[in-house]
Chain A
């Protein structure tokens, strides 16, 4: 480099360095804005913040319902309350694809007054090795959730530490993990204009019966979904992931220690799954849960409760299906 060129080169480098700083500044603004965005814009995981706020603001809640979208569409907590004659609120703490570990995150937030816990479990979800769905730990953290030591301890006993990294992320890292919110903002924001067949507002904020579904899906789609699920697992007995099996046992033991009644509801399965996966599958599910019954949990077997016409799609119960499932839970809770 000729000496005469040096000032020009240096000036150019300084300009480029200023542009690098511009990128850093933009990134810093974005990271700082994440929690604000999470609270202000609608997203599919915004329900988590709604639920955590509800648990905090309703200390007298006597009964809670946990689970995935089957619990959202299949258990009407309002009906449960009126049938059981409970004076206080019952909260349906379910959200789509809720894993066992995600259900467990709520445990530390459960009001002292809560004496009964209802977990609606789709047996096949217990086969998955997935600990948390993508972005769910981040949504918990952005909602102000701080995992207590005992929560982390129990999760660590069941799952590898790497699975808990996002949950334990702090500061800027936690905010950066929340970047999924932007894509959710786009997808959830536009979806409400397109999916007129779904009540997305209800799914996000209803505390009793947050079912977004209004109608049965077309037959071709029903068949496609069925086939897709059938091809995703080979017929045969239930193969619970060791982590889920361990956590389930821990949850039963902990509920017992805390003097809480724990109902494990085996979610209804569409008749086609029952036929395809056969008695081997059903008997293995029942056998696994009998073990938990002996440890103190109460098992509510709804596996064969519903017929084809009581499903909106291969997984989610219709309104009529929800009424039957809710009634079964009422009967299980109500003293003889």
Chain B
């Protein structure tokens, strides 16, 4: 059930009506839990067990952690929770990948082994809710958040449908306290424009770019460098709009039910260095990796070598979190490399502090960072190693072909792609300079807001994609 489908619209209307009819707070929470179960079961009813089973374990583990003073018992309880959660994630997401690579390795050593690599269906959103559950038990273990005694609250924390399958990854300390206050049913211009912004990003930008991206990276050898560039830029914008569009809609939908979800993006393509990028891109994942992986590994508290090792390990595992494929590991490695190099340059005093007068330096550092980001996106997008290397070679070494007559016009919708990219860049830059446009529009006079809504309706009809496309991050 995708946010931008009529099915979801009907589902949302039913949930809103039920939520409105249930006046008591507890009843409203129950409505949301039931709605979340229906939402999740829409894809595959059986996988609800995957959500409910570990939920029961974590709920009880957290309660036991809270009352237990024995450090050994507490460690065992935490270990049990992590084992259950990571065990399920490992089985569903990585087992086939590991089996396949083990087979290749054993064949490489000359052993005459052979087995059928299992095909395991990936439960949607498993990476997201697994991380949320782990963060909960770890936070209770660290005594940073109290264990909730309400099974309904806990179930809602894990399953709240707007962010169930693709985040934002919510911490218990942010979410659970909200459930202790009233949950007012709200719908205002701010929510409307936030959801509209998300829908625009997904439907008008991301889905319209997906065709060109797929065509370019299906056979990079067939295209000159300039088209590979177009493909890389298009994918960068596609994945940003797809994911941040989902997050915007999730935040907006959460607000309808009186629940605030964290923002996941802060104009990442304005980042001027790797650290800056990771403070702006998929913020809830990068902060999760920092707090539950990088810091426990030692962070920067050890020596120089340990710090770089921790950085690289965090990014490699962050890459692997996206999918069981080597290209995601490479993507994590490239970003880890950039973070290490940036840190080394910083430690050696090679990077000057930005000042107002150094605008050329700022532009250059922005360009260098985004150039690297685009290269990394090629690794992320292209799974086939041969195609990936070809695309990277053409991206890095320009082949000099610039004739517009021969860059694929006819096969690719070049101009509408460029127009969509240009429109996105304009609105994106505007929102970075003057503040989020949805907030500004929410405060505008009704005639102005109505006119913008009407234009949005026209744009939807004109540019609604011809084929339905799921959210990219659903596969993770």
Contacts and interface: CB of A to CB of B under 8 A. Distances in A.
A174 to B, nearest CB: 13
Nearest to A13: B187
A194 B404 CA distance: 7
A12 B457 contact: no
A191 to B, nearest CB: 6
B434 interface: no
Nearest to A20: B192
Interface string B443-462: 00010011111111111111
Nearest to B186: A9
Interface in A203-262: 217-218, 220-221, 224-225, 227-228, 231
A16 B466 contact: no
B406 interface: yes
A115 B454 CA distance: 52
Contacts of B184: 1, 9
Interface stretch (A49-57, A74-82, A84-92, A182-190): A182-190
Interface string B145-180: 000000000000000000000000000000000000
Given A176-B461, A179-B461, A231 B416 contact: no
A13 B416 CA distance: 36
Given A190-B415, A194-B409, A227-B221, A182 B188 contact: no
Contacts of A179: 461-464, 466
B416 A26 contact: no
Contacts of A224: 221-222
Contacts of B186: 9, 12-13
Contacts of B182: 1
A21 B463 CA distance: 19
A228 to B, nearest CB: 5
B413 interface: yes
B301 to A, nearest CB: 48
A321 B208 CA distance: 38
B189 A12 contact: yes
Contacts of A191: 409-410, 415
Interface string A151-176: 00000000000000000000000001
A16 B189 contact: yes
Interface in A50-102: none
A1 B23 CA distance: 10
Contact of B461 (A19, A31, A134): A31
A33 to B, nearest CB: 9
Contact of B409 (A19, A182, A195): A195
Contacts of B49: none
A24 B457 contact: yes
B191 interface: yes
Given A22-B451, A179-B463, A228-B222, A30 B189 contact: no
B409 A29 contact: no
Nearest to A229: B222
A15 interface: yes
B414 interface: yes
A197 B409 CA distance: 12
A63 to B, nearest CB: 29
A23 interface: yes
B226 to A, nearest CB: 13
Given A18-B446, A186-B416, A186-B419, A27 B406 contact: no
B271 interface: no
Contacts of A183: 208, 413, 416, 463
Contacts of B462: 30, 179, 182
Interface in B403-458: 404-406, 409-410, 413-416, 419, 446, 449-458
A31 to B, nearest CB: 6
Nearest to A182: B462
B453 A22 contact: yes
A106 interface: no
Nearest to A191: B409
B196 interface: yes
A25 interface: yes
A26 B458 contact: yes
Contacts of B466: 134-135, 179-180
Contacts of B414: 187
Contacts of B454: 22-23, 25-26, 29
Given A15-B189, A15-B446, A134-B466, A30 B453 contact: no
A303 to B, nearest CB: 25
Given A183-B413, A183-B463, A197 B450 contact: no
Given A12-B189, A20-B453, A22-B453, A187 B458 contact: no
B219 interface: yes
B446 A27 contact: no
Nearest to A5: B184
A19 B187 contact: no
B130 to A, nearest CB: 35
Contact of A30 (B404, B451, B458): B458
A29 B457 contact: yes
A326 B265 CA distance: 61
A218 B406 CA distance: 9
Contacts of A148: none
B197 to A, nearest CB: 13
A221 B406 contact: yes
Contacts of B221: 224, 227
B302 to A, nearest CB: 50
A70 B460 CA distance: 36
Contact of B457 (A27, A135, A221, A227): A27
Contact of A16 (B187, B409, B419, B455): B187
A149 B196 CA distance: 42
A213 to B, nearest CB: 11
Interface in A11-49: 12-13, 15-31
Contacts of A12: 186-189
B188 A15 contact: yes
Interface in A281-330: none
The 6 A-B pairs with the shortest beta carbon distances in the complex, nearest first, are A26-B457, A22-B453, A30-B461, A26-B454, A12-B188, A23-B457
27 contacts: A1-B184, A9-B188, A12-B187, A12-B188, A13-B187, A16-B187, A19-B192, A23-B196, A23-B456, A27-B460, A27-B461, A29-B457, A30-B457, A30-B458, A176-B464, A179-B461, A179-B462, A179-B466, A182-B462, A190-B415, A194-B405, A195-B404, A196-B405, A217-B406, A221-B406, A224-B221, A224-B222
Interface of A: 1, 9, 12-13, 15-31, 134-135, 176, 179-180, 182-183, 186-187, 189-191, 194-197, 217-218, 220-221, 224-225, 227-228, 231
Given A20-B453, A194-B409, 11 more contacts: A13-B186, A15-B449, A23-B457, A26-B461, A27-B461, A28-B457, A30-B458, A135-B466, A182-B462, A190-B415, A218-B406
